[in-house]
Amino acid sequence: MSNQIIRAEKLSKSYKEGKGKLSIFDSINFKLEEGESVAILGSSGSGKTTLLNLLGGLDKPNAGTVWVNGHDVHKLSERKKGLVRNEYLGFVYQFHHLLPEFTALENVCMPLLIGKTPKAVAIEKAKELLARVGLSERIAHKPSELSGGERQRVAIARALVNDPKCVLMDEPTGNLDEGTANNVQQLIMELKDQLKTSFVVVTHDLALARKMDRVMHLEEKTLKDITEQ
């Protein structure tokens, strides 16, 4: 039997616009199996970030259902939704969203400490992840003392520290120069090959998208599988 990490059915999203509404998409379906990677492409403003936020339980749809590992996320209380997110999902954003006053190590520890993991265990796990992304020498640096690519590596380590079933990435290479973007792209590909984690990657980068198991295109309010095109 297939093991679906994320399933979305008949998702619709619109925003209020004056007296009317701005419809972003209508009745979208999406599914992601364990270990599978999916890229979401689409022009600017087509709703990619909005879709990712709905899949991750960060924003509510106007209609439709999202299940994360079988949990109907938008029916859960905020507290339970937070627990489901923390247990099953990791997030990487275009702008790393690291906490500026904390070191790389402390930033990566944070999801574990929120999940009540003992501090010594959290530190060991965070060090292991920082080594995996090639930052053993930078664990005591604060975000302002790291390069853009290094910050994004810390953000990826933080997203993985809870052993999530799935990592949702919103333009993870979008804010980086070409060389650094290639470097981070390479890391994502290594992690995809080494780990059992599923990935959903919103990107404008066709080369990165083509390396995922499936490629989806969000356009004119619908989501199409274009893997074979």
Ligand X SMILES: Nc1ncnc2c1ncn2[C@@H]1O[C@H](COP(=O)(O)OP(=O)(O)OP(=O)(O)O)[C@@H](O)[C@H]1O
Residues lying near ligand X in the complex (CB under 6 A) are found at: 15, 22, 24, 42, 44-50
CA 83 to each of CA 33, 78, 104, 109, 200: distance values in angstroms, whole numbers, following the listed order:
21, 9, 23, 16, 20
Report which of 79, 88, 124 is spatially closest to residue 105, judged by C-alpha positions: 124
Instruction: Report the DSSP beta bridge partners of residue 41.
Output: 217
- Closest contact distance (angstroms) between CB of 62 and ligand X is 12
Helix locations, 1-118, DSSP H? 48-55, 78-88, 104-114
CA 47 to each of CA 41, 219, 223, 224: distance values in angstroms, whole numbers, following the listed order:
10, 8, 10, 13
- Closest contact distance (angstroms) between CB of 46 and ligand X is 4
Nearer CB in complex with ligand X: 104/223: 223
Helices (H) and strands (E) in the chain, counts: 7, 10
Q: How crowded is residue 98: how many other Cβ atoms within 10 Å of its Cβ?
A: 23
Nearer CB in complex with ligand X: 45/179: 45
Nearer CB in complex with ligand X: 50/117: 50
Nearer CB in complex with ligand X: 14/227: 14
- Closest contact distance (angstroms) between CB of 57 and ligand X is 16
The tokens describing 97, both together, are 């969203």
- Closest contact distance (angstroms) between CB of 44 and ligand X is 3
CA angle 3, 129, 166 (to 5 degrees): 20
Nearer CB in complex with ligand X: 42/111: 42
The tokens describing 39, both together, are 């890229």
Residue 89 CA to residue 106 CA, distance in Å, equals 19
- Closest contact distance (angstroms) between CB of 168 and ligand X is 13
Nearer CB in complex with ligand X: 150/205: 205
- Closest contact distance (angstroms) between CB of 96 and ligand X is 16
Instruction: Report the DSSP beta bridge partners of residue 167.
Output: 90, 199
